[in-house]
Amino acid sequence: MFKQRKPRRFNYQPKFSQENQARTADGEAEDDNKAFLRQWREERRARRKSRPMFSMRTLLIVLVLLLICIYMLQHKYIQ
């Protein structure tokens, strides 16, 4: 009557497998790790510098609130 789902399959590879131990013995894994960390830090710095101080959404909300306040003040004191 009801179709049952098949269980999902995951391609799990252990962190300390035979392949990783062989690469660590050669020193390749350490070089790859250092290169990855260096690239990650550079990308992180670049993203941090390029991010604007206020988002467009925040600026738009502030602008709308400011216009509402101006309208309310003009309506109250000019009449």
The confidence score (pLDDT) of residue 25 equals: 58
Tokens representing residue 75 in the block: 């309506």
**Residue 6, domain member (yes or no):** no
pLDDT in tens, 1-26: 678 888 877 777 677 766 656 655 55
The confidence score (pLDDT) of residue 34 equals: 83
**Residue 7, domain member (yes or no):** no
- The domain tally of the chain equals 1
- Predicted structure pTM score: 0.38
Query: If you average pLDDT over residues 65-77, what whole number do you get?
Result: 92
Mean pLDDT of the chain, nearest integer: 79
Distance of CA 53 to the CA centre of its chain: 16
In terms of residue numbers, what domain contains 22?
18-78
**Residue 2, domain member (yes or no):** no
- pLDDT higher than threshold 90 for residue 65: yes
Longest dimension (CA), the chain: 84
Q: Do residues 54 and 63 touch, judged by C-beta distance below 8 A?
A: no
- pLDDT higher than threshold 70 for residue 29: no
